[in-house]
Structures are given as C-alpha cells and as structure tokens.
C-alpha cells in the first residue's frame, strides 16, 4: 500500500510540473513590409506599405497549441476621395497557433477587420469614416533565435478583410513579411 501511495504522489507531482510548463503566455510584436491590395467601390489600389503595429497575445493550451489574439495593421496612402491621406488596414483576429516543431509554427484565425483613418491625419469630419467587417488570417513563422523566455523570428502571413462601405463591400488582402520579437511567461 505504501508503494502505491508513493507512486501516486510521484506521478501527481510530475503531472503538475508538466501542466505548469505548458501553460505559458505569449506576447509578440513585429514590424515589416506588406503588399496590400484593395478593391471596391471606386477603389483599386496595390502598394507596398509599412506593416506596423503587429501584436500577438495568447496562452499556450498545450506545449504545441496556443490560443492567440492577433492585432495586425498596416498604414497605406488613400487618394480616392478628397485629399491624399493615411489610413489603417487592421484587425482583431482570434486564432490558433500550432507549433510544428521547436522552431516552426503555423497560424490561422477569423475575426474583425477594420479600415480606419490614421489618428494623426484627420482634418475634416468626412475623413472620420471607419469601416468594419470580417477578416481571415493564415501564416507561418520561424524562430531563428530562441531562449526559454524570448525569441526572435520571421513571419509570413496572408490576411484578407471584407469591409462594409455603405452601400457596398470593399475587400482587401495583405501579404506580410515581418520580423518578430516574442516574450514567453
């Protein structure tokens, strides 16, 4: 009976350690370039733009699987109506991040897409148009430098937004190449 209790205590301790190691928080920030293409009512634009901010916050459910919220963004020049000004092609996209191996991971998510004026470039009331819709995201990442608590990597992802611009819909795609820095807790 003593041996059974001892074995049970040892196994419970190992199980608790394994659970503790797999439940880690992820905070990632990235900057890079984005090939952006917009198409809709009176808009047809394709440009290479700065892709910032790009934030990912999440929690590992298992050593390989994490639930994350992606906050992708890129700023582009809009010239279709009125003066030329900056706008943000952004989103709030919950998703799943799966570690293929120790360095490679894949990402997919569906959420809220946004097209909004850049906060620093609003001159008139008409320029405050804020469009919401749906967004999808898929990507892969490679961590080329990694320690227990942090990593640096590169990420390639594709994002598509379908935005309601009364009375029609505008769609936009962004292919993004990012340099990322990630903290694990």
Whether the pLDDT of residue 6 is over 60: the answer is no
| Alpha carbon distance 129, 107 (integer Å) | 31
The confidence score (pLDDT) of residue 129 equals: 84
Q: What is the tens place of the pLDDT at every residue in 88-115? A: 899 999 999 999 999 999 999 999 999 9
Whether a cis peptide bond, with omega within 30° of 0, leads into 53 is yes
Whether the pLDDT of residue 169 is over 60: the answer is yes
pTM attached to this predicted model = 0.83
| Contact criterion met (CB below 8 Å) for 157 and 107 | yes
Whether the pLDDT of residue 12 is over 50: the answer is no
Residue 10 lies in a domain: no
Average pLDDT over residues 73-91: 85
Residue 101 lies in a domain: yes
Q: What is the 3-state secondary structure (H, E, C) of the chain?
A: CHHHHHHHHHHHHHHHHHHHHHCCEEEEEEEEEEEEEEEECCEEEEEEEEEEEEEEEEEECCCCEEEEEEECEEEEEECCCCCCEEEEEEEEEEEEEEECCCCEEEEEEEEEEEEEECCCCCCCHHHHCCEEEEEEEEEEEEEEEECCCEEEEEEEEEEEEEEEECCEEEEEEEEEEEEEEEEEC
Residue 9 lies in a domain: no
User: For a pLDDT cut of 70, what percent of the chain falls above it?
Assistant: 85
Number of domains in the chain: 1
Residue 8 lies in a domain: no
| Contact criterion met (CB below 8 Å) for 141 and 154 | yes
Q: What is the tens place of the pLDDT at every residue in 28-42? A: 999 999 999 988 765
The confidence score (pLDDT) of residue 16 equals: 42
Residue 146 lies in a domain: yes
Whether the pLDDT of residue 14 is over 90: the answer is no
Q: What is the tens place of the pLDDT at every residue in 127-163? A: 788 899 999 999 999 999 999 999 999 999 999 999 9
Residue 1 lies in a domain: no
Residue 18 lies in a domain: no
pLDDT confidence tier of residue 176, bands split at 50, 70 and 90:
very high
The confidence score (pLDDT) of residue 41 equals: 61
Whether the pLDDT of residue 1 is over 80: the answer is no
Instruction: List the domain range (segments joined by +) for residue 89.
Output: 23-184
Whether the pLDDT of residue 7 is over 70: the answer is no
Domain at 149, CATH number: 2.40.160.20
Average pLDDT over residues 53-71: 96
The structure tokens listed for 13 are: 């301790």
Average pLDDT, the chain: 86
Residue 89 lies in a domain: yes
The confidence score (pLDDT) of residue 19 equals: 47
């Amino acid at each position: 009976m003593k041996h059974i209790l001892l074995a049970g205590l040892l196994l419970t301790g190992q199980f608790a350690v394994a659970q503790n190691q797999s439940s880690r928080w992820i905070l990632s920030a990235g900057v890079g370039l984005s090939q952006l293409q917009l198409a809709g009512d009176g808009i047809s634009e394709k440009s290479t733009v700065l892709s910032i901010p790009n934030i990912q916050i999440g929690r590992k459910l298992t050593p390989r699987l994490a639930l994350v919220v992606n906050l992708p963004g890129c700023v582009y020049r809009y010239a279709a109506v009125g003066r030329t000004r900056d706008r943000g092609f952004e989103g709030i996209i919950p998703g799943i991040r799966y570690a293929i191996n120790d360095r490679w991971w894949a990402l997919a998510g569906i959420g809220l897409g946004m097209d909004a004026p850049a906060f620093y470039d609003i001159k008139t009331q008409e320029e405050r148009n804020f469009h919401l819709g749906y967004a999808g995201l898929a990507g892969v990442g490679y961590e080329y430098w990694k320690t227990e608590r942090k990593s640096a990597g590169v990420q390639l992802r594709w994002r598509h937004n379908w935005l309601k611009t009364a009375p029609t819909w505008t769609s936009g795609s962004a292919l993004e190449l990012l340099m990322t820095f990630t903290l694990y807790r």
